[in-house]
Amino acid sequence: MKKIGIMYGMESSFPLDLVENINMRRAPGIKADIIKVGGMKMDEMIGYNVILDRVSHEVPFYNSILKMAVVEGVRVINNPFWNKAHDNFFNNVIASRLKINVPKTVILPTKEHPPGTTGDTMKNLIYPLNWDEIFEYVGFPAFIKPNVDNTSHIFFKVYNPAEFFSAYDLTGNTVMLLQESIEYEEFYRCYVIGQKNVITMNYDPIKPKHLRFSAKPLPIPEKLKVRLEEMSLKICSALGFDFNVVEFAVRDGIPYAVEFINTAPTADKSFLHEDYYNRLLGITSDFLIEQAKLRKSRASHYTWFKLLSKEKKSKKK
């Protein structure tokens, strides 16, 4: 019996419906359930073929267990070793190299010294920064936001240098980005599953969470829809994500990729329209079943896997 496990956090519908949907499909020899873990021994087997992870970015304990699962050959979606490597500046660089429109972005040194450092540690840093040059490049309005985690309490929209410096003073030792604000006419959220399926939805990040998704599916111009899907697939393929959301702001008919990484996006039926929810449920179920049948592990991509393989072979001799 091959097993699909789901790890999730503060959700009420999608994970449980996913388990039920997979089991109701009665794929021969495949079963899905919710993973339960406690204090795990280092030689303990987790016992799954495929795991969909929707919470370890918030719970480091789970992340370590999922890394152990990869050592066993479990196909973990998304790659737990990439979990803490999110870098919004790097992602913007990659997207721009792929000829995808992105907001003008500058990475900034931390306002305060990183923990355990002093001014003597910063000998490579030009100081003071050429703020006039930075402001001219990015323009206003602009967003100042974390480079790694999109933490809402240190996410600001600023309209001039004075507002920027007031916001920057509050950021402590968090690495921040100053990014052009794309003043959009349309906004879309693209759910990408398995680097081959895209579900594109109308979305408005400015509204309260329960109103961000449209109450009913709205028509999207076919040419634009195809373009958004192509860019979403290109980004997720380049960054190596199998379950992710890419967000686009459309200004003057031109789509800009403004957010690249959301590996545990909102998928609750209380937010998504029923048609979108059912499509997401079905496509995700099919993808997990497909991966369980293949039992395709990415462990072979890691240097340590090659060393472990050599160790196993030497023990057999």
What is the model's pLDDT at position 51? 96
Global model pTM greater than 0.85: yes
In a domain, 281, yes or no: no
How many domains does the chain fold into?
3
- Residues 205 and 157 sit within 8 Å (Cβ to Cβ): no
Binned at pLDDT 50, 70 and 90, residue 37 comes out as very high
In a domain, 271, yes or no: no
Question: Domain of 229: which CATH number?
Answer: 3.30.470.20
Residue 189 and residue 160 in one domain? no
Q: Which domain holds residue 172?
A: 104-180
Residue 51 and residue 18 in one domain? yes
State which of 163, 180, 197 marks the end of a domain: 180
Residue 167 and residue 141 in one domain? yes
Residue 142 and residue 165: Cα distance in Å, rounded? 12
pLDDT tens digits along 267-309: 999 999 999 999 999 999 999 999 999 855 555 555 555 555 5
In a domain, 136, yes or no: yes
What is the model's pLDDT at position 119? 87
Residue 243 and residue 267: Cα distance in Å, rounded? 12
pLDDT tens digits along 220-243: 999 999 999 999 999 999 988 999
| 312, two tokens | 């196993």
| 153, two tokens | 């309490």
pLDDT tens digits along 203-212: 999 898 888 9
To the nearest 10°, report the CA torsion of 201, 202, 206, 210.
Answer: -70
Residue 147 and residue 162 in one domain? yes
